[in-house]
A and B are shown apart, each in its own frame.
Chain A
């Protein structure tokens, strides 16, 4: 047994007797009636939006009033409830608001709940009936989908494993992370389903990407995990989704990428807001996050160097494997790689880390790549 309650309640005579007494006589303790808690009457600010978490941001129940360091609640009590002595410790690792909070978290969550979609029924799978992709693009598409299924797996496990480590008072962040885990499960599902409907099945694993992505799981803090997952990895993937939608060989694929983009943009949005929040409210973290980014940006190098993904992308972008198609594909892939990197640094700058460019090896690579591309007449 990993945890034992302070009592064996079947053997606790006073507990059992009190319970049986209440049932027999109707005499109740009712001390909970006098709980010293705030009485509020929240109402929807906008009837069409319904009753949102933002509408509940009132007094001691609200997220605005959550202190920077949560000292009062380490149990499973909901924020704002009266907490009697004797409740257990839920063992949260993250009890500092700035280490998980983001402006607009509650809205990201509400949006996630209202925009849930279904990979089974919201994709027009029946449109694939009779569609036979040429071998080169069919295999390339399957390879891309195989890679994305791998990526979504780590994107599922990583936020999920941090969820129980967050203070129970960070209800809205926990809710957002739960919605993200579900989003990622749906992404893994839709990419797997698409790979298995091409006629080529799943293709090869991507060892270099996997090796680099494992880094996401083993961060020392939530903020480090978030910058690596939400900003580096998901930022890269968001750009990839956008390009993939553009390269999609069928309307089914376009639909898939549009739906996953909607979710991914939300995750990146949360990541940016959190990054901004932690830099503003916990400035000592800046150097730690820089150091983490030094390693996290290795994911971007690995992504560009993983030939099974880059090659499939080139073939999809060029529409085949003839020389002129490969040349055309390389141009698009170059644009994609550069766009991915430039967007990464734009995001960091917007969040308050403009100096990242001065320190990052990835930025040096971006500058070299950009110069080389421009010399070939490729613009981003």
Chain B
């Protein structure tokens, strides 16, 4: 065990004495006059319910969280009275607001709850059984969904790895991370169910994609990891979902990819907002973020170029295995890759990391794509 409480409460006579006093009716009431702000929050729009935005008031609000959280290291709820005793230090390593915050994070958390869905019951699984997909196309689907599960396993690990290291004062942002865990878990589930329901089984894991995903997942700082997972990976996945939904062989695929787009859109929105907030408040980090991306951006190509993604994507986008279908698939995937990378650079621009498209090594490789 790494931690033992400061006392064995079962042996401490003072503690037991206090307990007996209270149960004898002698209340100390130290908490009764807690030095906290008295407010009565109410929904600003009853139809929307009581949101976190409605409680952005005074010392309880998120607007007034200082940039450096120096005086809160325990599990105390932001705004409570912390003066009545010794509190534990939880060992948070992310205590700077601009390392995690995004101006839209409370809205995104509220949205994630409002847009909940269940893969078991909200997907028309029966439609897949009624009109089976041709064998080679189904094999491509199985490979694609195998690949997407790998991406979701990594997506699931990112918020899980960081959430306990982030200061509790950022409760709205931490709540959003928990919603992300459920999002990723649900997408992992739906992709697994789809891969197996189709009858082709699971296919092959991807060495290149997993190597790249691990590099992104294991980024050294939260802002770096967030750019990689929330902005780059979730952005790429959003593009993939859109591409596959456009050519999806069944209504089942379109339905599940619709949910996937909805969920990953939130990740991208947070990732972009988080980088924007980070750079606005820590402009000096622009240089190091560029340097981080100089080194890690190769993973974007490593993922897009993985045969376990590229090949099924071509087959699905072309609608099959015939020569003209493969040609159509390559045309479509070529446009998809260029669009995905362009949107990635646009997001970085929007977040305040301008000029990435000129500095990045990716465009030089993309220029060489030809479809004969």
Is B215 a contact of A189 with CB atoms below 8 Å?
A: no
Known: A24-B371, A178-B184. A82 touches B302 (CB 8 A): no
Residue B269 at the chain A interface, CB threshold 8 Å: no
Question: Among the listed stretches B188-196, B232-240, B275-283, B340-348, which one makes contact with chain A, having 4 or more residues with CB under 8 Å of it?
Answer: B188-196
Which A residues are in CB contact (< 8 Å) with B217? 3
Is A1 a contact of B38 with CB atoms below 8 Å?
A: no
Is A87 a contact of B210 with CB atoms below 8 Å?
A: yes
Which A residues are in CB contact (< 8 Å) with B28? 307, 311
How many chain B residues touch A (Cβ–Cβ < 8 Å)? 152
What are the interface flags for A109-121 relative to B under an 8 Å C-beta threshold, 1 for contact and 0 otherwise? 1100110101111
Known: A24-B372, A116-B113, A311-B22. A82 touches B204 (CB 8 A): yes
Which B residues are in CB contact (< 8 Å) with A9? 208, 212, 298-299, 301-302, 305
Which A residues are in CB contact (< 8 Å) with B38? 199-201
Residue A16 at the chain B interface, CB threshold 8 Å: yes
What are the interface flags for B340-358 relative to A under an 8 Å C-beta threshold, 1 for contact and 0 otherwise? 0000000000000000000
Q: Which residues in chain A, 8-32, are within 8 Å of chain B measured between CB atoms?
A: 8-11, 15-16, 18-20, 22-26, 28-32
What are the interface flags for B198-234 relative to A under an 8 Å C-beta threshold, 1 for contact and 0 otherwise? 0111111111101111110111100000000000000
Is A218 a contact of B2 with CB atoms below 8 Å?
A: yes
What are the interface flags for B32-62 relative to A under an 8 Å C-beta threshold, 1 for contact and 0 otherwise? 1010111111110010111110010100100
What are the interface flags for B129-170 relative to A under an 8 Å C-beta threshold, 1 for contact and 0 otherwise? 100000010010001001001100110110111011000100
Question: Among the listed stretches B97-105, B120-128, B242-250, B257-265, which one makes contact with chain A, having 4 or more residues with CB under 8 Å of it?
Answer: B120-128
Q: In the complex, A295 Cα to B330 Cα: how many Å?
A: 62
Is A5 a contact of B215 with CB atoms below 8 Å?
A: yes
- 14 residue pairs of the A-B complex, CB under 8 angstroms, read A7-B302, A9-B212, A10-B365, A88-B211, A118-B113, A150-B75, A160-B159, A161-B163, A202-B60, A204-B80, A205-B85, A217-B164, A307-B19, A310-B22
Question: Among the listed stretches A47-55, A261-269, A343-351, which one makes contact with chain B, having 4 or more residues with CB under 8 Å of it?
Answer: A47-55
Residue A223 at the chain B interface, CB threshold 8 Å: no
What are the interface flags for B1-21 relative to A under an 8 Å C-beta threshold, 1 for contact and 0 otherwise? 111111111100001101100
Which A residues are in CB contact (< 8 Å) with B164? 157-158, 160-161, 217
Is B361 a contact of A10 with CB atoms below 8 Å?
A: yes
Which A residues are in CB contact (< 8 Å) with B323? 26
Q: In the complex, A26 Cα to B299 Cα: how many Å?
A: 23
Q: Which residues in chain A, 266-311, are within 8 Å of chain B measured between CB atoms?
A: 292, 295, 297-298, 301-302, 304-305, 307-308, 310-311
Is B77 a contact of A304 with CB atoms below 8 Å?
A: no
What are the interface flags for A125-155 relative to B under an 8 Å C-beta threshold, 1 for contact and 0 otherwise? 1101100000000010001001001100110
How many chain A residues touch B (Cβ–Cβ < 8 Å)? 151
Which residue of A90, A195, A203 is within 8 Å of B31 (Cβ)? A203
Is B307 a contact of A28 with CB atoms below 8 Å?
A: yes
Residue B175 at the chain A interface, CB threshold 8 Å: yes
Is A32 a contact of B311 with CB atoms below 8 Å?
A: yes
Residue B185 at the chain A interface, CB threshold 8 Å: yes
CB distance from B125 to the nearest CB of A (A): 5
Q: A178-B184, A215-B3 are in contact. List 4 more A-B contacts (CB 8 A).
A: A51-B120, A75-B205, A114-B121, A196-B60
Q: In the complex, A18 Cα to B36 Cα: how many Å?
A: 64
Residue B30 at the chain A interface, CB threshold 8 Å: yes
Which residue of B37, B206, B305 is within 8 Å of A16 (Cβ)? B305
CB distance from A326 to the nearest CB of B (A): 5
Residue A375 at the chain B interface, CB threshold 8 Å: no
Is B50 a contact of A125 with CB atoms below 8 Å?
A: yes
Between A76, A109, A365, the greatest number of chain B beta carbons within 10 A of the residue's beta carbon is seen for A76
CB distance from B355 to the nearest CB of A (A): 18
Which A residues are in CB contact (< 8 Å) with B361? 10
Q: In the complex, A186 Cα to B362 Cα: how many Å?
A: 41
Is B23 a contact of A333 with CB atoms below 8 Å?
A: yes
Is A5 a contact of B129 with CB atoms below 8 Å?
A: no
Is B32 a contact of A139 with CB atoms below 8 Å?
A: yes
Known: A26-B326, A42-B197. A202 touches B1 (CB 8 A): no
Q: In the complex, A357 Cα to B302 Cα: how many Å?
A: 57
Known: A76-B205, A78-B149, A207-B87. A113 touches B296 (CB 8 A): no
Residue B119 at the chain A interface, CB threshold 8 Å: yes
Which residue of B200, B210, B330 is within 8 Å of A75 (Cβ)? B210
Is B75 a contact of A121 with CB atoms below 8 Å?
A: no
Which residue of chain A is the closest to B114 with respect to CB atoms? A118
Which residue of A19, A171, A217 is within 8 Å of B192 (Cβ)? A171
CB distance from B198 to the nearest CB of A (A): 8
What are the interface flags for B67-94 relative to A under an 8 Å C-beta threshold, 1 for contact and 0 otherwise? 0000000111101111111111010000
Residue A67 at the chain B interface, CB threshold 8 Å: no
Is B120 a contact of A49 with CB atoms below 8 Å?
A: yes
Is A182 a contact of B179 with CB atoms below 8 Å?
A: yes
Is B205 a contact of A50 with CB atoms below 8 Å?
A: no
CB distance from B334 to the nearest CB of A (A): 6
Is B219 a contact of A2 with CB atoms below 8 Å?
A: yes
Which A residues are in CB contact (< 8 Å) with B114? 118, 120-121
Q: In the complex, A125 Cα to B88 Cα: how many Å?
A: 33
Known: A56-B192, A202-B77. A84 touches B25 (CB 8 A): no
Which B residues are in CB contact (< 8 Å) with A114? 118, 120-121
Is A175 a contact of B185 with CB atoms below 8 Å?
A: yes
Which residue of chain A is the closest to B325 with respect to CB atoms? A26
Which B residues are in CB contact (< 8 Å) with A314? 22, 27
Question: Among the listed stretches A33-41, A95-103, A229-237, A238-246, which one makes contact with chain B, having 4 or more residues with CB under 8 Å of it?
Answer: A33-41
Is B208 a contact of A82 with CB atoms below 8 Å?
A: no
Known: A19-B305, A51-B123, A114-B120. A2 touches B23 (CB 8 A): no
